[in-house]
Amino acid sequence: MPGPTISNAGSKGRNSSSPPVSRPSLGSLTALERTRILNEISDAEAAILLYDWPFWAREKQLPPAPPWRVWLILAGRGFGKTRTGAEWVRSGAESGARRRIAVIGATAGDVRDVMIEGESGLLAIAPPWGRPHYEPSKRRLTWPSGSIATLLSADDPDQVRGHQFDAAWADEIAAWPRPEAWDNLMMALRLGPAPQCVATTTPRPKAWLKRIMEAADTLLTRGRSTENRFNLAPGFLAAMEQTYGGTRLGRQELDGEFLADIPGALWRRERIERARMAPAEAPDFARIVVAIDPAASHHAASNETGIVVAARAGETGYVLEDLSGRRAPADWAAVALDAFRRHRADRIVAEINQGGDMVEQVLRSIDPTAPLRLVRASRGKQMRAEPVAALYEQGRVWHLGRFDALEDQMCGFTGARESGASPDRLDALVWALSELLLNRNRTRTEQFLV
């Protein structure tokens, strides 16, 4: 049911489900102007004004003028990113200007708890007369205008396949576990004359996020937590400043700065960028190996198995492919053996700290004749990684293309702590390059277990 109209506060005659019109925001008015407007309107008009986002929003929270395909809001915690994304979706859905909308977060729980049911989510900000119908089992919101939002999870990139959208809201993209979800979303954004996506996130040092920032069709808005001080709990900013002020974490999480390199990390992005080569420029290789770092759990595909293909020509190593992913043992073994055949590799190198006999058994069950070298880590990750990082500093390793997830692990690895998610891609890289460039007693013709 359409809402009543409001004749004051600069929204004269506008129906609540009509597209927003230009008016001053609350933040741009003086205290006297705000008081005059609020004193002059009736209770009914005040109820409408409560849901008039352009009136309350700060300038940075209002959509920029086109053209843009991606509006990337890179801001600190508490800036109001979620509210901004939700209001952008609401505006287009209520008016019917956007008919098929993707709402996607890092996980299904994040979408439900933050983007839909959260305090600044789509249900909370909807006026009573324009509230969408929520169908959790169908992962869908439907507005009275007929606009539909489909709820998606970035930890399942294939969930996006098959859809077509004219609009999307992607939340906390820097925390997405699988960046290919972004690529699938961009491919699905193909309905209408000018499909658009609002991406809201606190920054993290991710290579793929940097490319989104620098894309020609991206419009970037930056913001700090302090810009939303009037809507944050008393004492929050003071406590955060006292604890994190001047620190790297504070600059990232509160000031919204994109900090490319982590102090103490063994690899730096600038060094990797200098070591990038097109595959067509690669020389003839003397050796090629496929390295595997199996997932910590062998009974679920939720952990990541590192699979990296690398080669050697002379005294230089080349990274050819990163095939890592969350797979069951039979699946990662099939992927690794397929890479072995495609690249005509000399050997498969597999760590057995986590898998033991299972690693050999699952590989042999698919191809009993593949040359296999089983390795066991006797030193910590940092000690194993340092000699390989030194090879990069010496200019002895090249990447044939881009490997975003692998490079993110490399540039985020300090070795200071090994709790949490294991850098399985990085481990596979270390095993591959160690085999090729550091274990020089290994020959091309060895085809037995060591």
Q: CATH number of the domain that 90 lies in?
A: 3.40.50.300
CA 306 to each of CA 97, 146, 346, 368: distance values in angstroms, whole numbers, following the listed order: 44, 45, 19, 21
Q: What is the pLDDT of residues 181-233, one digit of tens each?
A: 999 999 999 999 999 999 999 998 888 898 999 999 999 999 999 998 888 88
Q: Which two tokens stand for residue 446?
A: 């060895």
| 32 and 130 co-located in one domain | no
Same domain flag for 172 and 274: no
291 shares a domain with 193: no
**In a domain? residue 210:** yes
Distance CA(125)–CA(130), nearest Å, equals 10
Asked if residue 258 belongs to a domain, the reply is no
Q: Indicate if 51 and 69 belong to the same structural domain.
A: no
pTM for this prediction: 0.66
Residue 238 lies in a domain: yes
Do 317 and 419 lie in one domain? The reply is yes
- d(Cα 85, Cα 98) in Å, to the nearest integer? 14
Number of folded domains that form the chain? 3
Query: What distance in Å separates the CA atoms of residue 149 and residue 142, rounded to the nearest whole number?
Result: 7
* Domain closes at, from 229, 253, 277: 253
392 within domain boundaries = yes
Within this chain, do residues 79 and 227 fall inside the same structural domain, yes or no?
A: yes
The pLDDT score that the predictor gives to residue 421 is 58
Residues 141 and 246 grouped into a single domain: yes
Domain of residue 294, CATH code = 3.30.420.320
Q: Are residues 273 and 384 in the same domain?
A: yes
Strand order in the sheet with 133-135: 133-135, 140-142, 148-153, 100-105, 167-171, 196-201, 70-75, 218-223
282 and 249 part of one domain:
no
Report helix, strand or coil for 392: helix
Q: What is the pLDDT of residue 217?
A: 96
Kindly provide the b/e burial profile for residues 298-325, where b requires at least 16 CB atoms within 10 angstroms of the residue's own CB. Answer: beeeebbbbbbbbbbeeebbbbbbbbbb
**Residue 167: helix, strand or coil by DSSP?**
strand
Average pLDDT of the chain is 86
Question: Pairing relation of β-strands 70-75 and 218-223?
Answer: parallel
Domain boundary among 202, 225, 253: 253
* 42 and 165, same domain (yes or no): no
The alpha carbon of 89 is separated from its chain's Cα centroid by a whole number of angstroms, namely 20
Q: Which portions of the chain are predicted below pLDDT 70?
A: 1-29, 296-302, 354-356, 416-421, 440-450
Q: Give domain status of residue 447, yes or no.
A: no
Domain of residue 332 covers 269-438
In a domain? residue 279: yes
249 lies in the same domain as 276: no
Q: Which of 197, 227, 253 is a domain's end point?
A: 253
Query: Is 100 inside a domain boundary?
Result: yes
Residue 445 within a domain: no
Q: Do 99 and 211 belong to one domain?
A: yes
